[in-house]
């Protein structure tokens, strides 16, 4: 899974990226520091893994991962090629979700598009550019299929989407329409998590509540990544930052994207995986290896909560908590699965 970080120039995108990935990508006080995108992998924090490790006596634990993509800042006119423009919009077409970071910290040394702080204005500038880039793409497609009698439905749908986007409103779509539009990779339709980059100790501005933004002290978080884990916890306690902001960001991304976690256990190797909610166990098998999906026979399943409840795999087996499921079983959050398959080649 890939998530793209967008925002105006110089708002802290790379600082957030570094905090998330414990990276050292270049951060400067001037805009357009990032030119080539930074890509980094982040482990999804999951306290269940530790508990499971003990219960199953696993020797190796691999958490699920998310990939973050940090790109150049967007400016007014980006969709028309201003700033570093269009090329970066293309880079985020492929991501599954967007983290839109907005500047809420004040610092006279760090240039911003205007002397005042106005997060709503900033969000609207970026969203307008995303919508304009989408409109251009839709327009091109409409011209192409205009005379195709078989594309009438699609043409109608595109017209409706274009109308909504030009009004700055999200279009109302049913499942089938969403499916048709998937191939377009429209930026405006991607699930978006808004992040307010706050000055130390500040709270989220009231006006950002309607965007359901989460607040992060990005600079502090990135600096704290340099500390050992125990010191970070102590530092957090002293500063009164309760919940770890970055973990929350990752958790919220899961919620936003409708993702669940399942676990596999194979020869004492425990591993967490990410899956869209509603998928079958056969599809889950495909995430691990395409051979497992093709040759799927059955799976042995136990849910995390049941296992923790009884305390061991042996007891779980005695109590009948370990179930055999067929290919259509819908995987639930926290399922621990072992897949039986045959090689089809
Ligand atoms: N005071 C303060 N400065 C911050 C904060 N977050 C980032 N900065 C500073 O803002 C400047 C820009 O940060 P970057 O992370 O490079 O911003 P960016 O959005 O990636 O910038 P571009 O790649 O140039 O678009 C750096 O000097 C950061 O140290 C913050 O929360 N508070
Ligand atoms: Mg940057």
Q: Is the CB of 117 under 6 A from ligand 1?
A: no
Ligand found nearest the CA of 218: 1
Q: What is the pLDDT of residue 245?
A: 76
Quote the ligand 2 centre to 261 CA distance (angstroms).
31
Give the full edge-to-edge strand order of the sheet including 38-43. 38-43, 65-70, 2-6, 97-104, 192-198, 214-216
Structure tokens at 133: 């880039």
pLDDT, average across residues 203-219: 91
> Rounded to an integer, what distance in angstroms lies between the CA atom of residue 271 and that of residue 193?
27
Distance 12 CA to ligand 1 centre (A): 4
Q: Is the pLDDT of residue 115 over 90?
A: no
pLDDT at 345: 66
Does any ligand 1 atom lie closer than 6 A to the CB of residue 219? yes
What is the percent of the chain with per-residue pLDDT over 70, rounded to a whole number?
A: 96
The CA 250 to ligand 2 mean position distance, Å, reads 20
The ranges assigned to domains in the chain are: 2-34+71-239, 258-341
pLDDT score recorded for residue 246: 82
Burial of 339 (0-12, 13-18, 19+ CB in 10 A): buried
Cα(70) to centroid(ligand 1), Å: 13
Kindly report the number of other CB atoms within 10 A of residue 249's CB atom: 22
Q: Please, are residues 322 and 299 in contact by the beta-carbon 8 Å criterion? A: no
Over residues 52-87, the pLDDT tens digits come to 998 888 889 999 999 999 988 887 777 676 666 567
Helix axes 152-166, 119-145, angle to 10 degrees: 160
Determine which of 88-97, 108-117, 209-218 has the lowest per-residue pLDDT on average. 88-97
Distance 222 CA to ligand 2 centre (A): 13
Q: For residue 22, give the DSSP letter.
A: T
CATH superfamily of the 258-341 domain? Beta-grasp domain (3.10.20.30)
Instruction: Note the pLDDT of residue 257.
Output: 84
DSSP, residue by residue, 247-290 = HHHHHHHHHHHTEEEEEEEETTEEEEEEEETT-BHHHHHHHH-H
Say if CB 195 and CB 16 are below 8 A apart: yes
The first and second tokens of residue 135, run together, are: 């409109």
Return the residue matching tokens 């990410």.
Answer: 274
Question: Which pLDDT score is estimated for 192?
Answer: 92
Q: What span, in angstroms and rounded, lies between the C-alpha atoms of 34 and 310?
A: 51
Residue 239 has pLDDT above 80, yes or no: no
Distance of alpha carbon 265 from alpha carbon 307, whole angstroms: 13
User: Can you tell me whether residue 4 is helix, strand or coil?
Assistant: strand
Query: From the CB of 239, is ligand 1 less than 6 Å away?
Result: no
Identify the three-state secondary structure at position 153. Answer: helix
Pocket test for ligand 1, best of 5, 6, 14, 23 (most atoms within 8 A of CB): 14
**CATH code at 2-34+71-239:** 1.10.150.300
Taking the C-alpha atoms of residue 141 and residue 135, their distance in angstroms, rounded to an integer, is: 10
Contact in structure between 104 and 122 (CB atoms under 8 Å): no
Which whole number is the average pLDDT over 179-184? 89
Nearest by Cα to 8 from 92, 93, 129 = 129
- For the Cβ of 81 lying below 6 angstroms from any atom of ligand 1, the answer is no
For residue range 281-322, what is the model confidence (pLDDT) as tens digits?
999 999 899 999 999 999 999 999 999 999 988 899 898 899
Strands 323-325 and 269-276, bridge-based pairing: unpaired
Please give the mean pLDDT across all residues of the chain: 89
For residue 99, the ligand closest to its alpha carbon is 1
Tens digits of residue pLDDT in 135-165: 989 999 999 998 888 888 999 999 999 999 9
* Distant-in-sequence contacts of 236-240, Cβ < 8 A, 24+ apart: 239/200, 239/201
- Please count the other Cβ atoms lying within 10 Å of the Cβ belonging to residue 269: 13
């Amino acid at each position: 899974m890939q998530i793209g970080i967008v925002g105006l120039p110089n708002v802290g995108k790379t600082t957030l990226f570094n905090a998330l990935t414990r990276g050292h990508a270049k951060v400067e006080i001037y805009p357009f520091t990032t030119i080539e995108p930074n890509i980094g992998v982040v482990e999804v924090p999951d306290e269940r893994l530790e508990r499971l490790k003990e219960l199953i006596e696993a020797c190796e634990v691999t958490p699920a991962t998310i990939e973050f993509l940090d790109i150049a800042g967007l400016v007014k006119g980006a969709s028309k090629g201003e700033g570093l423009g269009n090329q970066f919009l293309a880079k985020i077409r492929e991501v599954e979700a967007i983290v839109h970071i907005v500047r809420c910290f004040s610092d006279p040394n760090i240039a911003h598009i205007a002397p005042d702080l106005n997060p709503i204005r900033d969000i609207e500038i970026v969203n307008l550019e995303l919508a304009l880039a989408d409109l251009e793409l839709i327009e091109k497609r409409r011209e192409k299929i205009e005379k195709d009698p078989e594309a009438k439905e699609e043409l109608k749908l595109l017209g409706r989407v274009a109308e909504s986007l030009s009004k700055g409103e999200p279009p109302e779509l049913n499942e089938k329409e969403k499916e048709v539009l998937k191939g377009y990779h429209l930026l405006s339709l991607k699930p978006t998590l808004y992040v307010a980059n706050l000055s130390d100790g500040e709270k989220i501005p009231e006006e950002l509540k309607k965007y359901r933004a989460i607040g992060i002290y990005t600079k502090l978080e990135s600096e704290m990544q340099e500390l050992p884990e125990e010191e970070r916890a102590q530092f957090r306690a002293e500063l009164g930052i309760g919940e770890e902001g970055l973990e929350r960001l990752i958790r919220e991304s899961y919620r936003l994207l409708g993702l669940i976690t399942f676990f596999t256990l194979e020869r004492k190797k425990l591993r967490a995986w990410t899956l869209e909610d509603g998928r079958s166990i056969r599809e889950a098998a495909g995430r691990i290896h395409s051979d497992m999906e093709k040759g799927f026979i059955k799976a042995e399943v136990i849910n995390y909560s049941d296992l923790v409840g009884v305390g061991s795999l042996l007891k779980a087996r005695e109590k009948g908590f370990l179930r055999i499921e067929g290919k259509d079983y819908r995987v639930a959050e926290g399922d621990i699965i072992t897949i039986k398959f045959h090689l089809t080649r």
